[in-house]
């Protein structure tokens, strides 16, 4: 079934073709009247209609074929030149064949009687090539505008998602529930161990300061994120009294890499949210780096029964934030005993590289 979008596109192209045809005909015919019912005019009209629609549809097909090899469906200069060349290689022989038949073999039907048929043939071919080239360039330009618009919309969506994520994390961290649990733990520590209580207050202040200082930042250095995570892990260990075993093993220079703000904290919280844990069955979370510039967050599974099925919104949000800066994907694996998330570490100059890449496209 033909879609409304295609019908709309076909109608627009049909009208454009008619405008092009009559403009071209007016430059050839020097009399005051333009006829479209004589055999010669019918031949040129039908051939023009067929060839222009052919080049348009072929161009659309080549664009779709070329963009299948790109994850973000974009074209560069080399791809554009390849499409133009392929399009013309397909178009020129077909156009030459049609005009050759019309001028040399069916000239009595088309009523094309000239003293120099080869000259007319060359003129018709050159005119057809010029019009086809203009149509191809116009179509590529139109696609590039649509592509730019789609990219801008995608960037806007990602920015909104990042802002939503940052404020969601901020809200969760400074919510009354979180503050109540922290103060409740602090109250108990003040009677049991005042030195530990003082350390707990210092770590709590560090967490809040980090969140408030970086709530407007899309990316943060791995070093800062790990320092914040260290304070967060300290508070969680004190609060849950041996029910958690969170270990970090960072074997790289954390100053050389950046990651989305609060991403590690969100993944640790994700493990806490979806698992139950106790001193008898502690939740073990390991955070390690690998040689291929990746950081892994892995935990054993004690699945907590949920009232509602998980939407995995946090994991999707982190994945979308990464997609803005890199083609590397987040790897999520799970079996009967463990759940693991591997996120790529980004180089410090990733923001500048992303801007240059966007401009090149």
284 pLDDT more than 70: yes
Taking residues 1-20, what's their average pLDDT?
A: 75
- From the list 55, 38, 44, 131, the residue with the least C-alpha distance to 89 is 55
Burial level of 33, CB count in 10 A (0-12/13-18/19+)? Answer: exposed
pLDDT-above-70 percentage for the chain: 83
160 or 221, which is more confident? Answer: 221
Mean pLDDT score, 260-278:
88
Q: Which structural domains are found in the chain, ordered by start? A: 4-149 (no CATH), 174-360 (3.30.565.10)
pLDDT tens profile 53-62: 888 889 888 8
pLDDT tens for 66-117 read 877 554 456 678 888 888 999 999 999 999 999 999 888 888 888 888 888 8
Residue with tokens 């430059």: 27
Residue 36 DSSP code: S
Q: What is the mean pLDDT of residues 5-20?
A: 77
* pLDDT mean across residues, the chain: 81
Q: Is the pTM of this model over 0.95?
A: no
Question: What is the C-alpha separation between 152 and 156, in angstroms, rounded?
Answer: 6
Exposed/middle/buried for 169, CB within 10 Å: 0-12, 13-18, 19+? buried
Task: Report the alpha-carbon distance of residue 218 to residue 242 in Å, rounded.
Answer: 34
């Amino acid at each position: 079934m033909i879609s409304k979008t295609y019908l709309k596109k076909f109608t627009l192209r049909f009208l454009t073709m008619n405008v092009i045809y009559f403009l071209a005909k007016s430059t050839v015919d020097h009399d005051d009247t333009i006829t479209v019912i004589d055999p010669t005019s019918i031949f040129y009209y039908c051939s023009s209609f067929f060839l222009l629609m052919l080049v348009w549809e072929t161009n659309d097909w080549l664009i779709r074929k070329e963009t299948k090899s790109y994850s973000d469906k974009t074209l560069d200069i080399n791809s554009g030149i390849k499409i133009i060349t392929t399009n013309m290689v397909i178009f020129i022989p077909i156009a030459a064949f049609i005009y050759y038949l019309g001028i040399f073999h069916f000239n009595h039907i088309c009523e094309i009687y000239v003293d120099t048929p080869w000259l007319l043939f060359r003129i018709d071919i050159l005119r057809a090539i010029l019009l086809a080239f203009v149509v191809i360039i116009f179509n590529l330009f139109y696609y590039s505008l649509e592509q730019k618009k789609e990219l801008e919309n995608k960037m806007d969506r990602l920015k909104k998602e990042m802002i939503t994520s940052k404020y969601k994390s901020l809200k969760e961290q400074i919510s009354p529930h979180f503050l109540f649990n922290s103060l409740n733990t602090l109250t108990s520590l003040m009677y049991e161990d005042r030195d530990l209580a003082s350390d707990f207050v210092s770590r709590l202040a560090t967490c809040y300061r980090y969140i408030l200082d970086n709530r407007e930042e899309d990316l943060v250095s791995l070093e800062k994120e790990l320092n914040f995570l260290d304070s967060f892990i300290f508070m969680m260990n004190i609060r849950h009294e041996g029910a958690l075993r969170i270990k970090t093993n960072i074997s790289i220079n954390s100053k050389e890499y950046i990651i989305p703000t609060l991403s590690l904290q969100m993944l640790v919280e994700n493990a806490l949210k979806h698992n139950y844990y106790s001193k008898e069955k502690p939740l073990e979370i390991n955070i390690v780096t690998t040689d291929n510039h990746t950081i892994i967050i892995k935990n054993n599974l004690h699945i907590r029964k949920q009232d509602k099925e998980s939407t995995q919104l946090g994991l999707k949000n982190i994945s979308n934030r990464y997609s803005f800066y890199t083609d590397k994907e987040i790897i999520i694996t799970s079996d009967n005993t463990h759940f693991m998330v591997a996120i790529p570490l980004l180089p410090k100059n990733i923001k500048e590289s992303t801007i240059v890449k966007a401009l090149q496209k």
